[in-house]
Amino acid sequence: MTFLPPLSRRGVIAGAAAGLSFPASALAAPSASKLVPYGATPSARQLAWHRMEQNAFVHLTINTFTDREWGYGDEDPAIFNPKRFDADQIVGAAKAAELRGVIITAKHHDGFCLWPSAYTEHSLKNSPYKDGKGDIVGELSAACRRHGLKFGIYLSPWDRNHADYGRPEYITFFRNQLRELLTNYGPIYEVFFDGANGGDGYYGGARETRKIDAVPYYNWPSIIDYVHELQPMACTFDPVGADLRWVGNEEGEAGDPCWATMDDQGFTPEKGNSGVRGGAVWWPAEADVSTRYGWFWHAYEDGQSRSPANLMKIYFETVGRSAGLLLNLAPDTRGLVTDEDVGNLTTFGAALRRMYAINLAGGARPVASSARPGHPAANVLDGDPASFWASCDGAAVPTLTLDLGGARTFDVVRLAEHLPLGLRVDRFAIDVQRAGAWVEVVSKEGIGSQRVIRLDAPVTTHGVRMRIVAARAVPAITDFGLYLAPVLLEPPHIVRDRDGMVTLTSDAPGQEIAFTIDGSAPTLASPRYTAPFPLPDGGVVQAIGIHRATSALSTVGRQSFDIRKSDWKIVRASAPGAERLIDELNRTDWIAPLTGADGRPCSVTIDLGRSVDVRGFVLKPGWHAPQGAGDPAAWTVRVGDDPALAGPPQERGEFSNIAANQAPQRLAFARPHRGRYIEIAFTRTAKGEQRLAIAEIGILTR
């Protein structure tokens, strides 16, 4: 998700609209018993968003039918026809995963609209879907109302189709489309504005590159005001940071800690990931991550959907760190979420419900070292987010002990602060009773909207204690819960080396691995993995983990391989070290200048060892790029049996969204090209860097 550095936010958004408050020292002196907020606090719409915790993104557009991540804008609406589109099935999949809202990509960068916009012909009204009478946005909005989920809108500011993009006239068009979406589909809880803006496009037939200075071009403050005028409770994810910020990656990982506050010095992905303790602005993080590598459905990703165990990990690393989770579902060309994805989402949701079904702190006797009148320790157990325990003035580092009344076994601790009073706690620790003594089991910075911590292993104890280790103001804690997480098995890891030998491994001890290479799904009866095996010419390996003690099964892991690289050689490269591109070691990067010593673009030529039909290639972005080295943004390819590879490129294209999404980039050609040699050249970088970092290159022959 490309994100732009925002303007200085002073003077951009009014304090009341943004939900700002001020340090207690700047306010009138309160009564001795009344707590005043510390620092920035959330607005009403931000507080409502926090309480949703996790929501669904739905990426569906013409890209679903072109096998792309970013459309160019010249696609024919006639190819968009999800004949079996079922809004209830999609919303039902989100609900099964305990997701509480749905945001639809109403218009992505290609400009194709999933509603019959009156302001463009590039929409489904000119598609065969429901004979041009359909409205995907409207159908999903209605399904959300039926299922009790909230509804949100993604509207790309960048439009590679529109002839006026980059000119003042486009802003009028953009606001008109925004008005359609915010006035015709009921209450909207979030409007998501992507940060990708400007570049190559169709632009009504101009087929050129258009660059803009995004913040002044759109006049973002006025756009945000317009959203809040039409939908006062809609949070905006936007470049000036009115309500929500990007978490800085698309991997589903918030910082530890992840503060909901930021400073006024501009956005960076690093700051977005962690927030800024004591920052003057309430600007919480939203973590957008897909159930698959890409945002849109691709057939080659079937079998690689995130497992329930991985989704649970993401839950603890986003929601559990006070960020909002935005989990993407990618309907296929039928207009349905695949059975594989639905199954994983359903299992994940069921695991969450099982985990939270019993609060093992329920019935405990809470005792606090200090409790403010009207805010007793018992408030942390009443399930009411409006009530809270608070200590007395001068007792900023109190303790709260739960006498469990007997032995309880748990491995999850959940805490929450009363957000209308701000972020008050800097650090806390959790202790358990063992042999008559208190033993610390975890210590963390920050609580925020909620802290859900999974311990390394279950603990059994009669008593649990929370210690506030450091705080800016006396704590206001609204929840203290103990839970036991269900066991979810990760599917095995499937890797192949340069010689074509496949290795299967499991993260969990006590597991067997069953696998297949014949296309069938592995079962308990499938062959057991005992040692690496050869797969020199490629194929599909599927594997499951089997827990020996219980015979519980993981979900299926799937990996598709093409021809092995043992015979490959680097013929020439614009910089030394290009052998790292074909070593099948994903953490070794080739670092190369964007322009070679001869003045030509960065390139590498590979001898494949024999002539094959090259149908595309796969590029894995750099594992850990050094400062000043970035990802490639555009490429050209030559294929042939003469190593000189003279003549113009047969293929060219772009790496969509590569700077934000570090998943492997799979580039399929429109037709195969026969040859022993392939040259891949890189003509620009994603963020204007003068050096490239690339981990691996593979070839598609299937």
In percent, the amount of the chain with pLDDT more than 90 equals 85
Angle between helices 87-96 and 136-147 (to 10 degrees): 40
The closest alpha carbon to 365, from 400, 410, 414, 415, belongs to 400
Please, are residues 417 and 477 in contact by the beta-carbon 8 Å criterion? yes
pLDDT digit string, tens, across residues 245-289:
999 999 999 999 999 999 988 889 999 999 999 999 999 999 999
Between helices 339-357 and 87-96, what is the axis angle to 10°?
40
Give the integer Cα–Cα distance in Å for 55 and 365: 35
Kindly tell me if the per-residue pLDDT of 166 is higher than 80: yes
Interacting residues of 313 by C-beta distance below 8 A, sequence separation 6+: none
Cα gap 165→201, rounded to integer Å: 9
- Helical H segments across 433-502, by residue range: none
Distance CA 506, CA 324 (A): 30
Eight-state DSSP code of residue 375: B
Structure tokens given for 207: 């087929």
pLDDT one-digit tens code per residue, 167-190: 999 999 999 999 999 999 999 999
| One-letter identity of residue 161 | N
Q: Is 153 helix (H, G, I), strand (E, B) or coil?
A: strand
Residue 467's nearest CA partner among 442, 491, 487 is 442
pLDDT at 661: 81
CA atoms within 13 A on the CB side of 295: 27
Among residues 292, 270, 337, 345, the alpha carbon closest in space to that of 315 is found at 345
CA distance 305 to 311: 10
Question: In the predicted model, what is the mean pLDDT of residues 375-386?
Answer: 96
3-state secondary structure 72-101: CCCCCHHHCCCCCCCHHHHHHHHHHCCCCE
Residue 357 one-letter amino acid: A
Mean pLDDT, the chain, integer:
92
- Structure tokens of 222? 């006025």
Contact (Cβ atoms closer than 8 angstroms) between residue 94 and residue 54: no
Q: 3-class DSSP state for residue 495? A: strand
Per-residue pLDDT tens over the stretch 412-461 = 999 999 999 999 999 999 999 999 899 999 999 999 999 999 999 999 99
Predicted pLDDT at 33:
57
In which residue are the tokens 């510390």 written?
Answer: 38
- 370: closest CA among 233, 477, 515? 477
487 — pLDDT class (breaks 50, 70, 90): confident
**Interval 582-615: pLDDT, tens:** 999 888 999 999 998 889 999 999 999 999 999 9
Interacting residues of 435 by C-beta distance below 8 A, sequence separation 6+? none
DSSP annotation of 480 = E
Residue 13 clears pLDDT 70, i.e. is over it = no
- What's the rounded Cα separation, in Å, for the pair 231 and 179? 10
Buried b (16+ CB within 10 A) or exposed e, 457-472: eebebebbbbbbeebb
What is the rounded distance in angstroms from the CA atom of residue 166 to the CA atom of residue 209? 10
Query: Among residues 694, 416, 451, 439, which one has the least CA distance to residue 577?
Result: 694
188: its two tokens: 């909207």
Alpha-carbon distance of 518 to 544, in angstroms, equals: 15
Provide the residue count of the chain: 702
Sheet order of strands, 324-329 included? 235-237, 190-192, 150-155, 101-107, 54-58, 324-329, 285-290, 245-246
